[in-house]
Amino acid sequence: MAKNSADETIKVMKQQVGIAAANRVSSDSIVGLGTGSTTAYAIQHLGDRLKSGDLNNIKGIPTSFQASVLAKQYGIPLTTLDEVSKIDIAIDGADEVDPHKNLIKGGGAAHTREKVVDALADQFIVVVDQSKLVEALGTTFALPVEVLPMAIAPVTDALKKLGGEPELRMGVKKDGPVITDQGNMILDVTFEAIADPATLESTINNIPGVLENGLFVGLADLILIGEIVEGQPCVREMH
């Protein structure tokens, strides 16, 4: 498939799942708004539903600066975790999804806030295109780890001792490292297939200086997968 046509196909799949997820949101609910190109379609469709009157009285909790900008652009009122004690539904993307619905997230460096919001939601829906499905986490995507800037050197050493190959994420159209919404840095850590995601998640988070890593284990309730079947875009559910 030519590159432009492949990009267009992925865009259509992302759009389909984003819309399907936004259609599952009910009026009078608090909605976690994830980060990334797939969730952006969900946020846009939530805004469309509010505008048309199909949906009323929702409030969003953004997981990033990007989500907050999009929510404002599409007319979704926002709130914070200081104002509300629970989240009804969260919609978020992922970089890898394994057959047990465990995830790697953080391709957009937003996984720390995403984990706070997604973990609090009564229902956490993940939106991905079919290219994100893997047999084992870590096989196609390096694991993002958010680190305090002053701890980059010791955390790098500790991650190497765990068998990883950490690389400082560098900015695009900006010299130097990516700085997260919280003012920290990201180490992208290549592991061979991750055999025990739950143990690795807590082991990494126990390294002093680590804020959060992108392993989301046992959090997702439903994965919506955008696929092309016989030339037609469709959405498959993984429960």
Ligand X SMILES: O=C[C@H](O)[C@H](O)[C@H](O)COP(=O)(O)O
CB of 95 to ligand X, least distance (A): 5
Give the tokens for residue 226. Answer: 């955008």
Instruction: Produce one character per residue of 172-195: b if its CB has 16 or more CB atoms within 10 Å, e if not.
Output: eeeeebbebbeebbbbbbebeebe
User: Annotated binding residue at 108?
Assistant: yes
Q: Which stretch binds ligand X (CB under 6 A): 92-100, 151-159, 168-176, 202-210?
A: 92-100
Q: Which stretch binds ligand X (CB under 6 A): 5-13, 91-99, 160-168, 192-200?
A: 91-99
Q: Is 70 among the residues that bind ligand X (CB under 6 A)?
A: no
User: Annotated binding residue at 92?
Assistant: yes
DSSP letters for 113-166: HHHHHHHHEEEEEEEEEGGGB-SSTTSSSPEEEEE-GGGHHHHHHHHHHTT-EE
Q: Which of 13, 92, 124, 147 binds ligand X (CB under 6 A)?
A: 92
Give the tokens for residue 143. Answer: 């694991």
**Is residue 227 among the annotated active site residues?**
no
Instruction: Produce one character per residue of 40-58: b if its CB has 16 or more CB atoms within 10 Å, e if not.
Output: bbbbbbbbebbeeeebeeb
Q: Is 105 among the residues that bind ligand X (CB under 6 A)?
A: yes
Q: Is 107 among the residues that bind ligand X (CB under 6 A)?
A: yes
What number of other Cβ atoms are within 10 A of residue 35's Cβ?
29
Contacts of 229 (CB under 8 A, 6+ apart): none
CB of 15 to ligand X, least distance (A): 11
Q: Is 32 among the residues that bind ligand X (CB under 6 A)?
A: no
Position of minimal CB gap to ligand X = 36
Q: Is 139 among the residues that bind ligand X (CB under 6 A)?
A: no
Q: Is 188 among the residues that bind ligand X (CB under 6 A)?
A: no
Q: Is 204 among the residues that bind ligand X (CB under 6 A)?
A: no
Q: Is 62 among the residues that bind ligand X (CB under 6 A)?
A: no
- Residue 164: which of 211, 119, 100, 214 has the closest Cα? 214
CB of 57 to ligand X, least distance (A): 26
User: Annotated binding residue at 105?
Assistant: yes
Catalytically annotated residue among 8, 83, 96, 114: 114
Sheet of 165-168, strands arranged across: 165-168, 185-190, 143-147, 210-213
Q: Which of 47, 60, 106, 138 binds ligand X (CB under 6 A)?
A: 106
Q: Which residues bind ligand X (CB under 6 A)?
A: 34-39, 92-95, 105-111, 114
Catalytic residues: 114
**Which residues make up each annotated binding site for substrate?**
35-38, 92-95, 105-108, 132
